[in-house]
Structure 1
Amino acid sequence: MHQQVEVLIGSLLIIAVGSIPTYSNSNNIQPDTPIDDFGEIDFLEISTFPYETTEIVVDEVDANLRYTFGKRVKNDRLVSQNTDKSYWPSPQNVTLILQYPGSGQGAIVTFVEVIVNQSSNIGAGRIIAGGIGMRSIASIIEGNRTYWFNYSANIYGIY
């Protein structure tokens, strides 16, 4: 079974694909929220980023998977963050979709960090729209065959 949760907090939209059972502790479910409106896209001069902007790094640290996109740069700051926890009685495949900004114009994205704690170490991450150096980003983080999916997402940017 595939799970879906949508949470809109500030300028960060979180979606996990599927349906959430009533015993999930996720209490901010908002179904049918569109995720395809990124508005006008502004590019940051890529020469100011001394690294590969499309690389996705996954580190396994203790029982956590840490997905990172981009790199912290001088004068960037935390522009959006969210955390959530979900539990199931049987293993689930979970897809988390992060969209920044949730609405309006966002900061120029420099770094995205998603720390996931799940019962398995099977997962993947990818950017699906926008990106580092742009004013919008959408990415997918997947967790497979897991009994729980706890995450903390942080997005940094420059205004």
Structure 2
Amino acid sequence: MYQLVIAFITSLLLTVVASLPTNSNNLIDPEIPTDSEADNFLDIDKFANSTAFTVVENGTNLRYTFGKRVKSDRLVSQNTETNYWPTPQNVTLILQYPGSGQGAIITFVEVVVNQSSNIGLARVIAGGIGKRFMATIVEGNRTFWFNYSAHIYGI
């Protein structure tokens, strides 16, 4: 099994894990980074009880949303990344806000993914709307490319 790990730290802590297709349904890297504050701890055991995003599919574009915009919110974090592979990959993107420190109170999250297949999902695995932190997993399966743009709004 081959894994490609790309880490990028800004106001979001992002990890993309891509692996060749296997029979395993476990696409989550057990070495998920955690924040030093107890409330920001990313507990992968909570994945079973995670909250799904709303998804709108338009061909190979998937728009995942969670929460709703409110009058006084503003964009508090954003990131975009592009990835291409010569063979189909199962991709897991882990988004964690904030990357460090205390974040704004989250009101709305949007992740737009463009990938070669339309097979994917997004789930909140820690924190969420009304909290100052959030960890999210976005998956794309059997894809030659995985391009995303993530936006988090808060007050």
Query: TM-score, normalized by length of structure 2?
Result: 0.78
What are structure 2's unaligned runs of at least 5 residues?
20-30, 41-50
Task: Report the Cα offset of residue 97 of structure 1.
Answer: 0.4
Task: Report the Cα offset of residue 34 of structure 1.
Answer: 6.0
Q: Give yes or no for contact 1:2–1:93 (8 Å, CA) kept in 2.
A: no
Give, as a single letter, the amino acid of the residue that structure 2 aligns with 1:7. F
Question: What is the correspondence of 1:137-148 to structure 2 with a 5 Å cutoff?
Answer: 137-148=134-145
Task: Report the Cα offset of residue 40 of structure 1.
Answer: 6.0
- Count of residues paired in the alignment: 133
Q: Residues 74, 55 of structure 1: CA spacing in aligned structure 2 closer, same or farther, 3 A cutoff? A: farther
Equivalent residue in structure 2 for 1:64, among 48, 58, 61: 61
Query: TM-score, normalized by length of structure 1?
Result: 0.77
Task: Report the Cα offset of residue 39 of structure 1.
Answer: 2.4
**Per-residue Cα deviation, 1:40-82 (whole angstroms, up to 9, x for no partner):** 659xxxxxxxxxxx55201102431001111111100000000
Q: Give yes or no for contact 2:18–2:89 (8 Å, CA) kept in 1.
A: no
After superposition, the CA RMSD in angstroms is: 2.1
Q: Percent identity?
A: 65
Show the counterpart of 1:36. 34
The answer as to 2:77 corresponding to 1:76 is: no
Q: Which runs of 4+ in 1 moved over 6 A?
A: none
Equivalent residue in structure 2 for 1:93, among 75, 90, 94: 90
Question: What is the rounded CA distance, in whole Å, between the counterparts of 1:87 and 1:153 in structure 2?
Answer: 18
Question: What is the rounded CA distance, in whole Å, between the counterparts of 1:133 and 1:66 in structure 2?
Answer: 21
Show the counterpart of 1:45. none
